[in-house]
Amino acid sequence: MPGIIREENGKVYIDGVPRFTYETEKDSFIQALRTVAHSLGRDVSYHMLKGYSATGFRLMFHEDWHRYTPDAARGFDHTPLSFEALGFQFSSREITLTDQKSIEELRTTVIHCIEAGYPIMAIRLMRWEDWGVIVGYMNDSEKFICRTPHDRSDDFSENTHWPWLILVISGEKEIPDRKVSVTKSLYTAVELFETEKYGHYYSGRAAYKYWIAGLKLQEIYDHLEQERGNMSYNRWVAEIRTVAYSDDYKDSEPCAYEYLERAHVNSWRYVCLADARRAAAKYLKEVSSFLGSESTTDLVKAGNLYGEVYELLRDAKQLVPSEWDLERNNWTQDKRNRQARVLEHALVLEERVIECIKDILGK
């Protein structure tokens, strides 16, 4: 049912839309959708929504090491499966940010949806390319009232950017039979693992292999470090990061220094993979009774294997510094090689997961 609308001090907003952060859960798409669902009376846990949407089984890796590869709408688009699992009908709308008419249409859409009691999912409400939720508007929609993973308090935030993509709920149906949702997610898990590529994105098994190969190619990193000359590693990293992330840096674009960009992509992709597999492990064990007793053992086994993947990744996190940690934790070829071996082990475990899921689907 639509949310409760409040009006106060020139603001019109939907009440009861909770805050979310990156502290423990890393998928802003799933967090934003879960927040929308909660405000409309359809509560579902993070790990269950990661499972129903099949984002818990996802691994995409862009052929050019693109920084937004983990996003659920890139490569394989999880949006239809995600909304369907909640019983939501939706439409997606792109906004041309250089076209004033397109922005006016966005503002009109926001007013219409909020007054109907439906929050809107949107990407890049702030400077970062993350998903957030438009929960209201003020000053005749000159400003949006939002929830984003970067909110510093329980207070609503105001957008600093017009989003370039929104997802609009156009209606509600009954929540589908959970057995149907689980079965669809398992078929998608197999597809994601066995499909080599979706456009420019390697997927599943192929994504693991491409990522591993990219870590092992020492000549790439030797070439990228050539410009440092006789400068110490820590000083070089600090200097190029200061230049790369100056005030005019746009977070929607790759970093100007490929070395820092690769460090960012590697670290964030790793963090998101661990987050996804932790959720997948919990999901499979929670739904182990949904498909009948003959599938329970295999679902628990698959969940335990994903749990092993998560623990493997968690315990090796020190090998994967972000671009902000490079002085304290230098990103050496030895660490990249060791990370590659961790990913190779994870791939072996995931092969076993998919065999379990295939056995379930064949019953």
In this structure, is residue 58 part of a structural domain? Answer: no
- What is 194-230 written as a DSSP string? H--EETTEEEHHHHHHHHHHHHH-HHHHHHHHGGGTT
Q: Which of 154, 172, 190 is the last residue of a domain?
A: 172
Per-residue pLDDT, 363: 60
pLDDT in tens, the chain (363 residues): 788 888 888 899 898 898 898 888 999 999 999 999 999 999 999 999 999 999 999 999 999 998 877 789 889 999 999 999 999 999 999 999 999 999 999 999 999 999 999 999 999 999 888 999 999 998 877 899 999 998 888 889 898 999 999 999 989 999 999 999 999 999 999 999 999 999 999 999 999 999 999 999 999 999 999 988 899 999 999 999 888 887 665 666 677 789 999 999 999 999 999 999 999 999 999 999 888 787 889 999 999 999 999 999 999 999 999 999 999 999 999 999 999 999 999 999 999 999 999 999 986
**End-of-domain residue from the set 153, 172, 191:** 172
From 172, 192, 213, give the residue that closes a domain: 172
Do 93 and 193 lie in one domain? The reply is no
How many separate domains does the chain show?
2
What's 170-201 look like in SS3?
A: EEECCCCCHHHHHHHHHHHHHHHHHCCEECCE
Provide the domain limits for residue 103: 5-43+88-172
- Do 94 and 193 fall into the same domain? no
CA 239 to chain centre: 30
pLDDT digits (tens, 9 = 90+) for 171-221: 999 999 999 999 999 999 999 999 999 999 999 999 999 999 999 999 999
Specify the pLDDT at position 249.
59
Q: What is the pTM of this model?
A: 0.93
Same domain, 253 and 355: yes
Cα distance between residue 314 and residue 325, in whole Å: 17
On whether residue 54 sits in a domain, the answer given is no
Q: What is the CATH number of the domain that holds 29?
A: 3.90.70
Check: CB of residue 137 under 8 Å from CB of residue 158.
no
Which helix (DSSP H) or strand (DSSP E) does residue 28 occupy?
A: helix 28-39
Average pLDDT, the chain: 92
The closest alpha carbon to 168, from 82, 74, 92, 87, belongs to: 92
Question: Are 129 and 196 contained in the same domain?
Answer: no
User: H-helix or E-strand containing 78?
Assistant: none
Helix and strand counts by DSSP (H, E) for the chain: 11, 11
Region for 72 from its dihedrals, namely left if φ exceeds 0, alpha if ψ lies in -120 to 50, beta otherwise:
alpha
